[in-house]
Amino acid sequence: EAQVTQNPRYLITVTGKKLTVTCSQNMNHEYMSWYRQDPGLGLRQIYYSMNVEVTDKGDVPEGYKVSRKEKRNFPLILESPSPNQTSLYFCASSFRGAESGYTFGSGTRLTVV
Amino acid sequence: GESVGLHLPTLSVQEGDNSIINCAYSNSASDYFIWYKQESGKGPQFIIDIRSNMDKRQGQRVTVLLNKTVKHLSLQIAATQPGDSAVYFCAENVGGSQGNLIFGKGTKLSVKP
């Protein structure tokens, strides 16, 4: 089944403890992206990647890192999480970037205490 | 389930009626538009798309209308069912193959049985 898989689904962590949210897609998509979703603010893009070893900042990149060492994986790294990063995170992938529809993962609910 | 927006516009319809969800987009250069559906606790799902050289596109029970003159997009759902209850987002692409989708805040559709 064609899909975007995120892990974990839920995560509670403490301020300052590094964490990684994994994202993997099995559709051979070139484009991948991370979003956070907050009440009243909608989906905001954190980082995106047009292809392997190519990553760019989105609208809200501060406090996040990404890497794209291989086509299928696009992990989101929080080096020192803070409470304002408590949010619902979505990974998405696409065959041709914004010219074709994005396929989203099921989301990761992160709580930083 | 996840709360994706505490201050979303809400549309409440009776089961079996038709629903119309509206979206005003921001950029007259946008050339590709998508409607997404997000059910509680899930990631956004692609419903239907339309390119700027069209003004109407139909899918199964859904129709998207595009009015470029007033930068307006609408999603029509025929014979609305309880399973249609969700938050609906429009998204636009302003940057061609190198762009990213920009998402609207969403409208919550509630279907009364």
The per-residue pLDDT for A26 is 96
A15-29 pLDDT per residue, tens? 999 999 999 999 999
pLDDT of amino acid B7: 63
Most B CBs within 10 Å, among A91, A99, A100, A108, to test the B interface: A99
Confidence of residue B2 (pLDDT cuts 50, 70, 90): very low
Alpha-carbon distance of B44 to B66, in angstroms, equals 21
- Phi, psi for residue B58 in degrees, rounded to 5: -115, 145
d(CA B19, CA B61): 10
B1 touches chain A (CB under 8 A): no
Chain B residues near residue A98 by CB distance under 8 angstroms: 32, 93, 95-97, 99-101
Q: Is B46 on the interface with A (CB under 8 A)?
A: yes
B5: pLDDT strictly greater than 50: no
Segment B54-75 shows an average pLDDT of 96
Cβ contact B93–A104 (<8 Å): no
Closest chain A residue to the Cα of B48, Cα to Cα = A101
Whether the per-residue pLDDT at B58 is higher than 80: the answer is yes
Interchain CB distance below 8 Å, A50 and B98: yes
Chain A residue set in contact with B, beta carbons under 8 Å: 4, 33, 37, 39-43, 45, 48, 50, 58, 88, 90, 96-99, 101-107, 109
- Average pLDDT for residues A51-66, to the nearest whole number? 95
Q: Quick one: pLDDT at residue A10?
A: 97
- Which pLDDT does position B3 carry in this prediction? 39
Asked if residue A57 has pLDDT above 70, the reply is yes
- Across the interface, of B6, B89, B97, the residue whose CB is closest to A96 is B97
pLDDT in tens, B14-36: 999 999 999 999 888 899 999 99
User: How much is the mean pLDDT over chain A?
Assistant: 95
Q: What number of CA atoms fall less than 13 Å from residue A91's CA on the CB side?
A: 27
Residue B52 has pLDDT above 50, yes or no: yes
Q: Does residue B1 register a pLDDT over 50?
A: no
